[in-house]
Homo-oligomer: A and B are copies of this chain.
Amino acid sequence: MIKGKDGSNIPKVVIERLPRYYRYFDRLDGEMEKISSKKLGELMDTSASQVRLDLSYFGDFGQQGYGYNIKKLKRELANILDIETKKNVIIIGAGNIGRALTRFNALKEAGFNLTALFDVKPILIGERLNNVLIRHIDELSSYLESHDISIAVLAVPKAVANKVVKTLIEHGIKGILNFSRTDLDVPKGFPIENIHIMDKILALSFIIRANK
């Protein structure tokens, strides 16, 4: 577990909300100077007390009767999220999702430096996408040994996902962003975030039908 400022464990849901707070302070910066937890809660469709509790894990940011200074909070959260430091990222799978992410400028803006793509299809190997070379998956181990890679984005078919994950973990990858349609077998506590697009659209569809 990750400890907050006061030594208590930060729940994972709170960590997952942190970038959202950053997005809001980024959006509000320039529009206004300060914001109350009540107003921010309304904007974010949550409560004032939730806002105060969430942010309190990371520092003493608010001032009673004043609220949060937007420029300061934006800077503090950028700092906490380490946006200034370049982090090397690779993408496994140069299919549609892999290609979409390669052209995703937001990655660079948030400090992520995409250094390589990997695939198995001979026709793709050696191609450059947005100036990033597509390498053969057989090179993955040696590539990881000789480069300092922080995060692997997994965008491969589910049938091969766990085989790739094994290689990634054996060669020291620090975290995985998983787009493959399966839950991955990783050691307990290993940093992983799943983006299951089909789960989201199926849940949405269920909610629509139940609302009728």
Closest residue of chain B to A83 (Cβ to Cβ) is B202
CA distance A101 to B96 in the complex (A): 8
Residue A112 interfacial (CB < 8 Å): yes
Residues on B with C-beta less than 8 A from A203 are 15-16, 18-19, 193
The answer on a CB contact under 8 Å between B151 and A2 is no
Residues on B with C-beta less than 8 A from A181 are 23, 106
The answer on a CB contact under 8 Å between A202 and B45 is no
Q: Known interface pairs A107-B201, A201-B110. Does A206 touch B18 (Cβ–Cβ under 8 Å)?
A: yes
CA distance A82 to B202 in the complex (A): 9
Closest residue of chain B to A21 (Cβ to Cβ) is B199
The answer on a CB contact under 8 Å between B175 and A205 is yes
The answer on a CB contact under 8 Å between A20 and B199 is yes
Size band of the A side of the interface?
Answer: 35 or more
Give the Cβ gap from A20 to chain B, nearest Cβ, in Å: 6
**A1-24, CB < 8 A from B:** 2, 15-16, 18-20, 22-23
Q: Known interface pairs A2-B211, A23-B181, A104-B96. Does A200 touch B205 (Cβ–Cβ under 8 Å)?
A: no
Give the Cβ gap from A184 to chain B, nearest Cβ, in Å: 10
Residue A150 interfacial (CB < 8 Å): yes
Q: Known interface pairs A195-B200, A200-B177, A201-B193. Does A80 touch B206 (Cβ–Cβ under 8 Å)?
A: yes
Q: Which of B44, B112, B191, B199 contacts A207 (CB 8 A)?
A: B191
Q: Which of B101, B150, B198, B206 contacts A208 (CB 8 A)?
A: B150
Closest residue of chain B to A43 (Cβ to Cβ) is B183
- Of the A-B pairs whose beta carbons lie under 8 Å apart in the complex, a sample of 22, sorted by A's number, is A2-B210, A15-B207, A19-B200, A23-B181, A23-B183, A45-B183, A81-B205, A96-B103, A99-B100, A100-B100, A104-B197, A107-B198, A112-B201, A112-B205, A151-B205, A151-B208, A174-B208, A191-B207, A191-B211, A193-B200, A193-B201, A195-B195
